[in-house]
Structure 1
Amino acid sequence: MRTVRDDSGTVYLLLKESSDACRVRNPETGEESYRDSDELEPVSGESTLTTAARAVPEPARRVLTATPDERALGLLVDLRERGPHSVRHLLDDTDLCESDLLGLLTEFRAAGLVEETRVLGERGYATTDRADEGLARLTGEKSDQ
């Protein structure tokens, strides 16, 4: 399997190749089609596995790639369902130590999944629209987006 692109810039996974035609799959739609070999060019620098991951909607991919384990995912879900929360609340209400909590919140901020806010006059965190949409897609809920 290789990653290829057509003249319009659409990226495909090359599934099968013959001398004059190629069977390709659009990773975002799952649609398979045949294309002339001379209409496609290889995409360098992108793993075919990265291309295949495009089958998962971007907001859900963002949540998946930013959460290293179930505790981290649970923190994000809790912030979405019951948040925003103050840092003090998160330290008191979870089994995360301060450094683990700070590390996860930093990763989530870098991924655009949480934002700093004020909760009862204290520093706290809330999920972003991007996190809400990604979690909604993962749980099968309808998103407000």
Structure 2
Amino acid sequence: MQTVQDDTGRRYLLLKHADHASLVRDPESGNECYIQNDRLESVDERPLETAATMIPDSVRSLVTSVHDEHTLGLLVELDARGPLGVRTLLDAYDVCESDLHGQLTVLKASGLLEETDVDGQRGYRTTETCTTALDALADPSSGSRSSDASETLADTATEGSDLEFDP
């Protein structure tokens, strides 16, 4: 499998190469279609990275940064309870200070938490990216797949060609 892009810059996964047209899959919608080869070019991106683009950016950030249920629970609690001070986190959740510091540092670096002031002390709150990701995970029906994705792909795939779109 290989990552390719068409002449509009849209990226696809190359499934089958033929003489005049290639079968490609849109990683965001999952739809497959044929696109003329003269409209495609290879892209220096790993196919699995391209495939991952079907997942919203916020969810990808969360999934790649959170490696255990404890850390996920920390984000869920911070999102539900609002900004919390470090002392409150240490007392309420019975966590080791160095472990908490490590988790907070990683989550802040990944853009899921931001430092804030809570009653004159250092605290943390979830970012909009984190809240969006947690909402998407809690309610999968709020995902990013748009209902008109197949129409967009059909328009892109057949523009300037006699090829048929096969959703």
Scaled by the length of structure 2, what TM-score is found? 0.79
Distance (Å, rounded) in 2 between the aligned partners of 1:141 and 1:78? 19
Distance (Å, rounded) in 2 between the aligned partners of 1:142 and 1:37? 35
Distance (Å, rounded) in 1 between the aligned partners of 2:141 and 2:84? 24
Scaled by the length of structure 1, what TM-score is found? 0.91
Distance (Å, rounded) in 2 between the aligned partners of 1:123 and 1:37? 56
Distance (Å, rounded) in 2 between the aligned partners of 1:28 and 1:62? 16
Is residue 2:9 matched to residue 1:9? yes
Gaps in structure 1 of 5+ consecutive residues: none
User: Shift in Å at residue 142 of structure 1?
Assistant: 8.2
| Higher relative contact order, structure no. (Cα contacts within 8 Å, ≥ 6 residues apart) | 2
User: Shift in Å at residue 83 of structure 1?
Assistant: 2.5
Q: What residue number does 2:127 align with?
A: 128
Aligned residues: 142
Q: What residue number does 2:60 align with?
A: 61
For residues 24-82 of structure 1, the C-alpha deviation after alignment (integer angstroms, 9 at most, x for no partner) is 111112221110122111111x2111111111111111111111111111111111011
Report if aligned partners of 1:136, 1:142 keep a CA contact under 8 Å in 2. no
Highest Rg: 1 or 2? 2
Q: What residue number does 1:22 align with?
A: 22
User: What is the CA RMSD across the aligned residues, in angstroms?
Assistant: 1.6
Q: What residue number does 1:91 align with?
A: 90
Match of 2:50, SS? helix
Q: Percent identity?
A: 51
Gaps in structure 2 of 5+ consecutive residues: 143-167
